[in-house]
């Protein structure tokens, strides 16, 4: 079972260079060695909550707990906190409704996330509508649904829909379409506290021959 460990922060402008060096040479390699695989870092283009999202995954909750309580992680996290502000975390697991998670991310990928709370009295109708209408519509509009996640630790809406598209301008056009506006309006009959944001790469993994490295894309 894939478990997501999302970290959110704002970069301290006075420590931007120190932050970039630390992330590439110490933080990401160190966290990866502890068993939390850093998939990517994202910067928010449209939407609130935080400036940066650092997305990590593990294979189970026990492995994540072991990594987060390790002395090495505590040291890395303390050093990270010297370079950033407004630090938050969330732990997510698959909701079981839409589990199509993949680490395969293209260079041009744009992330489109939506979040909401399901109104408890509408949970049955929500499940039917999301699976039979809302998610199929996103896929047909070229927004790949990479998974529906449930927040088990952290604030904000409890359900996160992770979507991906190939290019930002195409994504915006699709989100402005009458079809998307219609299904989103219908979705809101079953959910509350709806939020959405568009993100682009901040830190990207670059695959090489028998190796991998990371590079900064945007700040």
- Report the first-to-last Cα separation within the chain, whole angstroms: 32
d(CA 15, CA 88): 19
Domains of the chain: 3-92+200-216 (3.30.70.100), 110-198 (3.30.70.100)
- pTM, 2 dp: 0.91
Q: What phi and psi, each to the nearest 5 degrees, are found at residue 112?
A: -125, 105
| Residue pLDDT tens, the chain, 219 long | 899 999 999 999 999 999 999 999 999 999 999 999 999 999 999 998 889 999 999 999 999 999 999 999 999 999 999 999 999 999 999 998 876 555 556 777 899 999 999 999 999 999 999 999 999 999 999 999 999 999 999 999 999 999 999 888 889 999 999 999 999 999 999 999 999 999 999 999 887 545 578 999 976
């Amino acid at each position: 079972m894939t478990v997501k460990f999302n970290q959110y922060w704002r970069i301290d402008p006075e420590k931007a260079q120190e932050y970039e060096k630390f992330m590439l040479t110490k933080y990401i390699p160190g966290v990866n060695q502890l068993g939390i695989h850093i998939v990517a870092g994202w910067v928010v283009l449209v939407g609130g909550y935080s400036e940066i999202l650092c997305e990590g995954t593990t294979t189970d909750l026990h492995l994540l707990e072991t990594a987060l309580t390790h002395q090495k992680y505590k040291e890395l996290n303390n050093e990270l906190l010297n370079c950033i502000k407004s630090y938050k975390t969330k732990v997510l697991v698959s909701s079981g409704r839409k589990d199509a998670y993949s680490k395969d991310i293209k260079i041009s990928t744009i992330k489109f996330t939506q979040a909401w709370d399901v109104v408890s009295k509408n949970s049955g109708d929500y499940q039917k509508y999301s699976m039979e209408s809302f998610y199929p519509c996103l896929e047909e509009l070229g927004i790949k649904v990479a998974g529906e996640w449930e927040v088990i630790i952290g604030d904000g809406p409890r359900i996160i829909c992770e979507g991906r598209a190939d290019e930002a301008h195409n994504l915006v056009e699709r989100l402005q379409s009458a079809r998307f506006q219609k299904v989103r309006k219908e979705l809101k009959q079953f959910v509350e506290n709806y939020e959405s944001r568009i993100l682009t790469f901040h830190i990207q993994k670059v695959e090489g021959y028998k190796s991998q490295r990371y590079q900064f894309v945007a700040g």
